[in-house]
Structure 1
Amino acid sequence: MKCKSVHNKLIFFLEKELPVSEMEQVQKHLDECSECARFTAEMKNTLQILDNDKVNDENPFFYTRVKERIAKQAEEQPAVRPVLVRILQPVAFSILLLLGVYGGFKLGQAPKANIAGSGFTEQEVIPYWNELEAEPIEAFLMK
């Protein structure tokens, strides 16, 4: 067996997940090859360190504490607040909407700007609002 194939199967060998025949072949190679044996020892130490550092802090009372905390929060919230929110929130939005509509009507009824005070009459200003009527686009593009 070659060193590369042993390196590919080494994790499975250390976890004892290889078939018996392959386990014997890998063990035979490790007995013969000192470099692979050293690599296997390092890998075994690394895996052992990782297994020792695993943290399994499973608290059997976690679910109970979370359930109690949720129940406590439900008890602390006053029952009156949701009713007030359900009533006052739409009322507040309706008032804001009515104020917006009223303000829009007032702005629409505002006196028009005094064009005469600016030195121009209304007939002199209107053609400049729509310049496409004043000059055809073809004439503009031909220049």
Structure 2
Amino acid sequence: MDCKATEKKLIFYIENTLPKGESSVVQDHLSTCSACSQKLAYLQETLSYIETEKALTPKPFLYTRTIGRMQQQVVPEKLGGVKWLKPLAVAAALLVGLFFGFWMGQSSVTQPLPDPDIVYEVAYIFHEAPMEQVEALFLEDIF
């Protein structure tokens, strides 16, 4: 018998639920294979640990104390029902900020440009005048 087949039957071997023929084949394999023997020992140790844990009796009122602690942890969640209020306030603040941002952007738009014909005439006048006269024109208006 190979190791894979033996590993599949180890739990049944421990519980003595294998037929006699298969049990003797597993026993023969375990006597020759150290790896499977180690797995059997590990499995037996694990099962014995589980059995000792099952045998322990819980302390009195363990269930009552556990349920009481669980209920105490649920109570703050009921009182903390305003958890939705903080995200709502943040969303409202963002919307108000966006509204005022757009409003301020619209109110700061400059007045429309003057008539394009007038702008063209001024540009045409400056284009034909020599540079010194343009500078003198600016200086006369300032002083």
Normalised TM-score (structure 1):
0.41
Greater fraction of residues in helix: 2
